[in-house]
Amino acid sequence: MSANAKLKTNINLDKEIYDMSSTQDEIKISLNAIANVVDLEGYANQNHVKEINTKIYIDGKEVSEFSSSKTLSNSKDINITINRNDLKEGNNIVEIVNKSYLRTEFAIDGLIKDLSKKTIQINVKKQKPKDPLQLKDTRKLIKENDFKVEAPFLYYDIPVFQAGQYIIVKLKFKDTIDKIIIEDDIRLEKINEKNYLLIKKIPLETVSSITSIKEAREQTGNYFNIKQSDLGNKINEEYVINFNYYYKDFEYKNKVQYEVYGDILNNFNYQTTFKKDINTILLNEWIKDEKG
């Protein structure tokens, strides 16, 4: 006696075309693989199915194996990860194969096989390089007899300036960039192919983001009623300098955040509020390493 069964395999795909963006390192493929026992004869039924074994291959490499018994169907949902390193830039045709085997309780049936194939297309975009910016150092620029820079006070890691002061930002890149795009009120100075300075003067009329002596005086009516605890509290959103740069035809977006604490005309207690020693260095000393 034999079952005279046949095996019918299939691969069901969520989709057949995938796109890998410039920032992706891998892509996930979802599919359902199935092997069905069909055309049983006579008294043969699922209890005579000894084993259905299924193996899934991606471009000839086995990625999954599963089995079942005493059933007429062997099925599984499979998620497969394909790495960028296994693909080439542009269009890739990837072959998925379902190889399945059926054994029944009837030795005369032998090993019953079936195979099915599907292909998917993966469009791989050029990979975006890692951000080339190595250093972003924000200081206060002092214009006296000599140009100097001074480490700013910090409010929860955000540098603090007064309206009327100059902000200077040193940018250091690991490689030559294509260009930098800045806002209209920012001055850009190029040190060399890998190093730049951003300079901005904070307008004197800029509204404080942190309570200064000016705002505290307006709240209390005079200087004599101001308490130290009234100063240095957050009252508005911090300010932002946005800048974009291009490297190997890709755009990168970055920013410098800063707080404003009153203005240079009213804040005689600027240093005592933030309790920080002032560290001043000549501008040329600050950038000498980048000049080469």
The reply to whether 1 falls in a domain is no
Contact call for residues 291 and 192 (beta carbons, < 8 A)? yes
**CA distance linking residue 183 with residue 167, whole number of Å:** 14
Whole-structure pTM over 0.85, yes or no? no
Which residue ranges of the chain lie beneath pLDDT 50? Answer: 1
Per the structure, the complete domain to which residue 191 belongs is given by: 133-291
Instruction: Identify the pLDDT of residue 51.
Output: 94
Instruction: Please tell me whether residues 113 and 181 are part of one structural domain.
Output: no
Token couple for 16: 């057949």
The reply to whether 269 falls in a domain is yes
CA distances for 167 relative to 151, 175, 263, 290, angstroms: 10, 25, 14, 19
Instruction: Please tell me whether residues 103 and 39 are part of one structural domain.
Output: yes
Of 78, 97, 124, the residue that ends a domain is: 124
**CA distance linking residue 54 with residue 70, whole number of Å:** 15
The domain tally of the chain equals: 2
Instruction: Identify the pLDDT of residue 107.
Output: 78
Contacts of residue 21, defined as CB under 8 A and 6 or more positions apart, other chains included, come to 125
Element counts in the chain: helices (H) and strands (E): 3, 19
Summarize pLDDT for 73-132 with one digit per residue, the tens. 999 999 999 999 999 999 999 999 999 999 988 877 789 999 999 999 999 999 999 999
Summarize pLDDT for 25-50 with one digit per residue, the tens. 999 999 999 999 988 877 778 888 99
Instruction: Identify the pLDDT of residue 286.
Output: 87
| DSSP assignment letter at 209 | S
Instruction: Identify the pLDDT of residue 280.
Output: 81
Phi then psi for 274, rounded to 5 degrees? -100, -5
Instruction: Identify the pLDDT of residue 1.
Output: 36
